[in-house]
Amino acid sequence: MTTRGRVVVVGSANVDLVVDVPRPPRGGETILGGDLRRNPGGKGANQAVAAALAGGAETTFVGALGADDSADLLLTSLERAGVRTDLTGRADAPTGTALITVSPDGENTIVVAPGANARLELDTARTARIAAADVVLAQLEIPLDVVRGASAARGPGVLMALNAAPAQALPDDVWDAIDLLIVNEHEAVELTQAAGSAAELAAMLLERVSAVVITLGRGGCVVAEKGRDPLRIPGFSVDAVDTTGAGDTFCGVLAAALARGLELAEAARLACAAGALAVTRPGAQSAVPTAAEVAALAA
Ligand code: ADP
């Protein structure tokens, strides 16, 4: 294992087109909003930025962009964070785009046009990088077959982590393909189709996978591993201004810390610190803290 740890994020990249609105539009209705903002986003790209910048890991982003201006915006953000983009490809489709409205009460509406993300494929160079990783981190904004392929390409001892977001039911072979599941409370309820405390939901999920982390917003998270009692990691108290990207920052830093060889509970504590710092700043990738800031808060 390298001292920095090697993370390969296999996932989506989207441009977020964000407009503030007085309230969400109803069906058939046109409303006027504020100035358009164009931000780099997508769960995969956000998590790669977090793994590199806040987690300090040697991070590769395996994803598909289009041949358009949006791709340039995303590449610039990834590269500024120190993410390796040599295996970030260009597909014959528009770069993934999320159309987002934000109301004053913080309620969002989001429509995602997957575009190039739906064309992501694994080639020889990508599978070779995955085989040599310490941790592979995927989400559900890309084809499930790519998640299966990434898991199959792992070398011995490579940890396969899945952030099962956006929430959807998982086929049995995908459950079998992952070592660590990372979800928020809402996604945990979706996957279990049950109600209960985070510890109870984690116990149910442990019947399918050997390790689970459930994030709890300002409440921190619960970590659970087979054969051990679930552990609650408290959240760090901060003044939240924008919770966008907290979950992605958490996932990227968790993967990076595990790649460095930290235990799950200690990695989750760093991830909680990073998620807390992310909510103190607006945006997703622009809100990702540095590794030094994370270490200072977690100290
Ligand atoms: P998601 O964004 O996927 O819904 P969460 O809201 O659970 O995920 O946030 C992910 C992590 O970010 C939490 O586990 C926590 O560590 C941190 N976090 C989120 N919101 C806050 C907050 N208001 N204060 C402190 N930490 C937060």
**pLDDT of 155:** 85
CA distance 6 to 23: 43
Indicate the angle between helix axes 124-131 and 144-153, nearest 10 degrees.
60
Identify whether the C-beta of residue 191 lies closer than 8 Å to the C-beta of residue 167: yes
**pLDDT of 278:** 97
Q: Which of 233, 239, 264, 272 to mutate to test the pocket of ligand 1 (most atoms within 8 A of CB)?
A: 272
Task: Write the pLDDT tens digit of every residue in 251-276.
Answer: 999 999 999 999 999 999 999 999 99
**pLDDT of 242:** 85
Give the contacts of 163 (CB within 8 A, at least 6 positions apart): 43, 47, 137, 138, 139, 140, 182, 183, 247, 248, 251
> Rounded mean pLDDT of the chain?
95
| ipTM over cut 0.85 | yes
Residues of the chain scoring pLDDT < 50: 1-2
Angstrom CA distances, 202 to 80, 183, 231, stand at: 36, 10, 10
**pLDDT of 244:** 86
**Residue 217 CB less than 6 A away from ligand 1:** yes
Give the H or E element holding residue 101: strand 96-102
Identify whether the C-beta of residue 19 lies closer than 8 Å to the C-beta of residue 100: yes
**Residue 216 CB less than 6 A away from ligand 1:** yes
**Residue 279 CB less than 6 A away from ligand 1:** yes
**pLDDT of 296:** 97
**Residue 246 CB less than 6 A away from ligand 1:** yes
Smallest CA separation from ligand 1 atom 12, residue: 275
CA distance 20 to 72: 24
**pLDDT of 1:** 43
145 catalytically annotated: no
